[in-house]
Amino acid sequence: PVSTNWCLVHATHITEAEAQNIAKANAVAGLCPITEANLGDGIFPARHFPGAYGIGSDSNVLIDAGRELQMLEYSQRLGQRQRNVMANDTIRHTATALYQHAVSGGAQAMGLGHGFALGAPASFVTITGELPEDALADAIFTARAPAVRDVWVRGRRVVENGQHIKAASARAGFDAVLCKRL
């Protein structure tokens, strides 16, 4: 049965009853809003979904967490014809609500904890921004260069100054495979 260990990817076409059952099972809806928009597949029914969600990118149309969250919010706005749909009474700032829900649901889907705790491995992202209070909204809602600066996963830095630490070796490996094929 569906449980907290499940992540239901492409939950775009769920019914209201299915949304309630996913939430009751404490499962995660895995959303890929840019892919859904690119394919013309549909809009996730956020209004009827009280559970956890995470975001991803499966078709590689665009790999950008901020743009995925932006598309999630904008698709809801278009569908419901109102603003700030993903904000709520608990979290009134739209970018904060989007980010916190996606981090929480994403961490659950990957079997990771989230937040900071003494002695726990640190997993976090640093983003660029003029002012700290605007950085999150800028990362999601403005048309800038990618805003992710550094990424740490379980205490290890994997992205530094916007570049994956293994980007050069990955590129070299890709080039070697490509040369063999051509």
Residue 144 has pLDDT above 70, yes or no: no
Nearest to 11 by CA among 26, 32, 25: 32
The pLDDT of 103-109, averaged and rounded, is 93
Print burial letters for 133-148: b (CB count within 10 Å at least 16), e (below 16): eebbbbbbbeeeeebb
Of these residues, 13, 58, 134, 175, which one is catalytic?
Answer: 58
Residue 145: what pLDDT?
Answer: 62
Domains in the chain: ranges and CATH: 1-114 (3.20.20.140), 116-182 (no CATH)
Residue 164: what pLDDT?
Answer: 94
Nearest to 124 by CA among 145, 151, 149: 151
Whether 10 is a known active-site residue: answer yes
- In the DSSP assignment, the letter for residue 84 is -
Whether the CB-CB separation of 43 and 35 falls below 8 Å is answered with no
Distance (Å, whole) CA 106 – CA 113 = 10
Residue 135 has pLDDT above 80, yes or no: no
Q: What is the pTM (predicted TM-score) of this model?
A: 0.83
Structure confidence by residue, pLDDT tens digits, 53-84: 999 888 777 888 889 999 999 999 999 999 99
Whether 150 is a known active-site residue: answer no
Residue 181: what pLDDT?
Answer: 84
Residue 105: what pLDDT?
Answer: 94
The pLDDT of 94-102, averaged and rounded, is 93
Which amino acid is it at 10? Answer: H
Nearest to 32 by CA among 129, 114, 109: 109
Structure confidence by residue, pLDDT tens digits, 151-174: 998 889 999 998 999 999 999 999
